[in-house]
Amino acid sequence: MQRSRGSWHGSGTGRRTRLVLAALLLVTLVGVLGGCGSGGLDAQLNRITAGERFSLARWEVGELARSFVGMFNRPADLADRSAEVESYFSSVDNATVSADDVAAIIEAQVRQAYRDAGIDNPFGGLIKPQFSFPPVNIYLRKPPLLLVISPRDHIERIKDVLLLPDLPAAKREAIEDEVAQLGYSGLVVDLGGIATYPSYVSDQYGLQFALETAAHEWLHQYLAFTPLGFDYVLSLAGIKPNPDIAAINETVASMVGEEIGGDIYTKYYAEKPAATPAPPPSGTPSFDFNAAMRETRLHVDDLLAQGKIDEAEAYMNQRRDYINAHGYYIRKLNQAYFAFYGTYTSSPTSVDPLGQEMRDLRAQSGSLKVFLDTVATLTTRDEVKAKLGQ
């Protein structure tokens, strides 16, 4: 992968050939990720999840072919059909508008929002301005579930397994219990989206969430053709391990996705300002979920560093009950929970300083395009710190 946009030169035919090869390389590497494993643990997980796994490769082949044909049969005025999108999300289970039509409208809005920000493709002038690369393409449905695996003695996301989207709660618990018997911490989590192609985007959490997720997942595809995203793919595939790359990549995608998604929502849907929530009754202290989660994570890290695994797990159970009692439902709080959500350092619950460093870098960048052009070249935390220091 070329690190400089200016290095992509040559005849029109040569440029198109290189684009096709780059796209094929990305798809191939994404397919490889599903087969990468860790020996004995993989075999045990195959046994535990037998019959419950989601075949991403099978889904990808069928959906890529279908969506590729569909991209050439869409009307040009999709961005102006916001009422249909609102109708769909007002009643997803009984919608009168098809999910595919709504996906096409959101695609147009995401494409235009990125174009307005000056972000069309990672190859500069190589592709004509009226085309975005990769083409914005989403699949609007309930995504698969994800089984996240972490060691018990420290928090680290060492393995992910995609599961069928409608597993009952009892089956999720059974899988997690079997993972625990192997000596690991496991958690089955609901996903908001997956950076497949087309992007898997959930329709289960409302319109603004879907807009932000669509923008987030497209950015992963965009970044795959930059040093940051390409190194992330190589790290996931085990070809070029990089302990920093996941946190940087996911933090950037979360920040930019929220910004672009918010712009889309404001432009097409937010006709009325959101109602200001009523203040809590006088004398009743409000519960700070983010502060509670940060406090929990820090104490868990401290206990695990001392080798007090059982104490850490007992503490997490107590904190789950405490947080749930204040109206924030967490089904299971364990090492795998923090391993999964800790990847997103822009979250207010994160204890990772990378999130604040990225926010500071965004603030000093001026435009979103300048920020993205800057971070797309950064692949380690030291590089982030150095750039921020400049």
pLDDT at 390 over 50: yes
Q: What is the pLDDT of residues 307-354, one digit of tens each?
A: 999 999 999 999 999 999 999 999 999 999 999 988 776 676 677 888
Eight-class DSSP state of 284: -
Mean of pLDDT values over 37-43: 73
Q: What is the pLDDT of residues 355-371, one digit of tens each?
A: 889 999 999 998 999 99
- The b-or-e profile of 98-121 (16+ CB within 10 A means b, else e) is ebebbbbbbbbbbbbbbeebebbb
Mean of pLDDT values over 124-133: 63
Closest CA to 80 of 106, 99, 98: 106
> Do the Cβ atoms of 143 and 194 come closer than 8 Å?
yes
> Do the Cβ atoms of 32 and 237 come closer than 8 Å?
yes
pLDDT for the residue numbered 102: 93
Q: What is the pLDDT of residues 264-316, one digit of tens each?
A: 999 999 864 444 455 555 444 688 998 999 999 999 999 999 999 999 999 99
pLDDT for the residue numbered 217: 94
Q: What is the pLDDT of residues 184-210, one digit of tens each?
A: 999 999 999 998 888 999 999 999 999
Residues 6+ apart with CB under 8 A from 220: 195, 199, 229, 249, 253
Q: Determine the Cα angle at 67 with ends 97 and 228, to 5°.
A: 115
- The b-or-e profile of 303-321 (16+ CB within 10 A means b, else e) is bbeeeebeebbebbeebbe
Collapsing DSSP to helix, strand or coil, 337 comes out as helix
Mean pLDDT across the chain: 82
314's tokens: 């007992």
**Kind of pairing, strands 184-190 and 145-151?**
antiparallel
Mean of pLDDT values over 65-93: 75
Mean of pLDDT values over 96-105: 91
Mean of pLDDT values over 143-153: 96
Segment among 36-40, 139-143, 169-173, 232-236 with least mean pLDDT: 36-40
Which pLDDT band, with edges at 50, 70 and 90, does 14 fall under? very low
pLDDT for the residue numbered 189: 95
Strand partners, 146: 162, 189
Given the structure tokens 């940060």, which residue do they identify?
294
Collapsing DSSP to helix, strand or coil, 80 comes out as helix
pLDDT for the residue numbered 197: 86
Percent of the chain with pLDDT over 90: 56
Which pLDDT band, with edges at 50, 70 and 90, does 1 fall under? very low
Between CA 141 and CA 128 the distance in angstroms is 31
Segment among 82-96, 128-142, 184-198 with least mean pLDDT: 128-142
Closest CA to 337 of 174, 156, 142: 156
pLDDT at 19 over 70: no
